[in-house]
Amino acid sequence: MGIILHGLLDRPLEQHHPSQLCGSSVQVIVAIRTAPSHYSTRRAIRKSIGNEATRTALPWRILFYMGSTQDPKSSRVLRKEIKKDDIAVAPIPDSSPNAIRIFLEMAAWLHQHCSAQYVVHINDTTFPDLLGLHMYIANLSEEDNGFHCSVQHSVREQSDPAQKQFFLPHVFPAYCEGDAFVLKTKFLEILVNAAENSPQFPLFGQYVTGQLAKVSNLGHKNIADAMAGVTDTGKWTERKLFITRMVKISLWKLYWMKMLVCYQDNENITSELTERIMNKFQIKLLN
C-alpha cells in the first residue's frame, strides 16, 4: 500500500488551482512567481509574510504560481503543498522561456476567480513589505490605471543571436525592471487579451509590463525609490516596499520582523495592524 501511495505522489502535477483562496473579503493577492523545486523558500515565506497572524490582520492572500514539472521529488512535495490551498500550477513546463505563458495563465485564472482589487506581483527572491504596501494601496485613487514599479524608459534592445527569431523593438516601451509591481486585478484581463495579438519575445518585463502595457494603454508609476536590494540595507533608513535579491532563506523572517519593529509610522491603520500581528507573535513593541 505504501509503495502504491508513494507512486501516486510522484506522479507529475500537470495543473492545479486553489479552491478557496479568493473569498469576498480578500482585497489583495500577492502573486509570487516560484519554481516547483523551491519548496524551502515557499516554506520560509509561509512562516514570515504568509503566517496565520498576517492572514488574520490583513485581507490579503498569497498565491505561489509556477509551471508543471516531471521531477518525482518536486511532484511529491507539491502534492503535499497543494493542501495549503495557495499554489497554482500552469499546464506548461516550468522554465524561464515559458515565464510569460505561465504568467498569462495565472493572470487569466486570477481575473476569473478572484474579486480582489489589486495584485502585488513578485518572484520568490523579492520581499514585499505588506504593511507598507497596504498603506500605499489604500492611498491610491480610483483613477489609478497602470503599473507601480521601478520604471525603465527608452531602453534600447541589445542584439542577442539567441533571440533573432523574435521581433524586438529597437527601443522598448516603458517597462518595469524586475518582477515586482502593483496593478489593479481588473487589468489582468486586458493584458491577457492583448497578448493574443502581440507576438511574444522572451523578456518578461519588457513584454508583459512594456509591450502589453503599451497596447493596453496602461501607464506606469515609478516607485524605484521605494525599492532596495539586500546588499543596500546599510544605505537607507526609510521604509521600503520591496527588498530584492533575497537569496538566503533565513532573510525572510528577519526582514519581516525588521519591517514590523523598526519601521513603525504615524498611520493609525498600519500601527494597529502591526500591533495585532505582533500580538499574534506574542512579541511586545517597544515605545
Q: How many Cα atoms occupy the beta-carbon half-sphere of 74 within 13 Å?
A: 18
Domain locations along the chain: 2-259
Nearest to 174 by CA among 190, 151, 156: 151
3-state DSSP call for residue 132? helix
Quote the CA–CA distance of 229 and 63 in Å, as a whole number: 23
The residue type found at 183 is L
pTM above 0.75, yes or no: yes
53 confidence band (pLDDT: 50, 70, 90): confident
Cell of 9: 505522489
How does pLDDT run across 184-237, given as a tens digit for each residue?
A: 999 999 999 999 999 998 899 999 999 999 999 999 999 999 999 988 766 666
Of residues 57 and 9, the one with the higher pLDDT is: 57
Q: Specify the CATH number for 2-259; select among 3.30.420, 3.30.70, 1.20.1740, 3.90.550.
A: 3.90.550
pLDDT computed for residue 264 by the predictor: 59
